[in-house]
Amino acid sequence: MIAVADNLNTRNKAYMEALKNRDVKALAELVKHLREAGADMINVQCSLDGSGDDMSLPWVTGIVSEISDSICLDSRNTLALENALPLCKKPPLINFISETEPEDQETLLSIVSNSGASLVIRASKGTIPTSIEAKLQIIERLIEMANEADIPNERLFADPSVVHVSSGMGQKHILNSYECIRVLKDLVEPPIKTIAWISNVSSGLPRVIRKPLEATFLAYLAGAGLDAALVDIHDGNIRKAIYLIKSFKDEIVFSQADIT
């Protein structure tokens, strides 16, 4: 299980303040804390729609790469991705492509192909489909697009597109996300990896129940074979879930001292 810290996002006031003020020291401290909390990879987001990312994303990437060599670049701005890629110490994970985003899909695929980066392919077409069949069809088309651009399956991470459980179709979406991950393990050859944005499941709920819910959801998807998860790495519930998942999968040596 790859723990991808999603803490550098537009909802993080300390991070956005450091970004606004170009405060290298403050940003470096935030990144160090993410690494110390157990992040295997750090997701870098500077905006929701890519605006201004051509300047902001490379700046943040340069600082993050001094502390972590595993980075996920989260932007809809292809110019920003091109500018940030040379600052990564090793090919990053790029998040994401769907059937509608970004607008310039050909450029994004070319960037990924030429750089050796990995790519998140998201089961979305403007709206998120409610059926597992529709999700799998979108993922299949995106795999074909990636393969045609000389991006092999080993560099692809399929995202079933998680929605919040309290929405009208939330529980059906959750079940379909689980089944999508499980089915992909047997359906696609050569195999691809899977990834999910765990915090999306609890959006809109009171904070007191959000993190325990997310930790349980993470363990639930791990049972389907989830390979990577975007998580709030600072939360104790999440960290314990990740530790136990890695222990059960024999990725680390279990220690009672560590878990207590």
In angstroms, the CA 253 to CA 187 distance is 31
* pLDDT at 256 (0 to 100): 86
Per-chain mean pLDDT for the chain: 95
CATH number reported for the structural domain that contains residue 123 in this entry: 3.20.20.20
The answer to whether residue 103 scores a pLDDT higher than 80 is yes
* pLDDT at 258 (0 to 100): 84
Give the pLDDT confidence of 160-191 residue by residue, as tens digits. Answer: 999 889 877 888 889 999 999 999 988 999 99
* pLDDT at 104 (0 to 100): 92
Calculate mean pLDDT across residues 28-54: 97
**Domain carrying residue 214:** 2-259
DSSP 182-249: HHHHHHSSS--EEEEEGGGGGTTS-HHHHHHHHHHHHHHHHTTT--EEEE-TT-HHHHHHHHHHHHHT
* pLDDT at 61 (0 to 100): 98
- Which region among 4-8, 78-82, 157-161, 166-170 has the lowest average model confidence (pLDDT)? 166-170
* pLDDT at 167 (0 to 100): 77
Instruction: Give the count of domains, the chain.
Output: 1
In angstroms, the CA 102 to CA 123 distance is 14
Strands 118-122 and 2-8: unpaired
- Going by pLDDT thresholds of 50, 70 and 90, the confidence category of residue 210 is very high
* pLDDT at 127 (0 to 100): 85
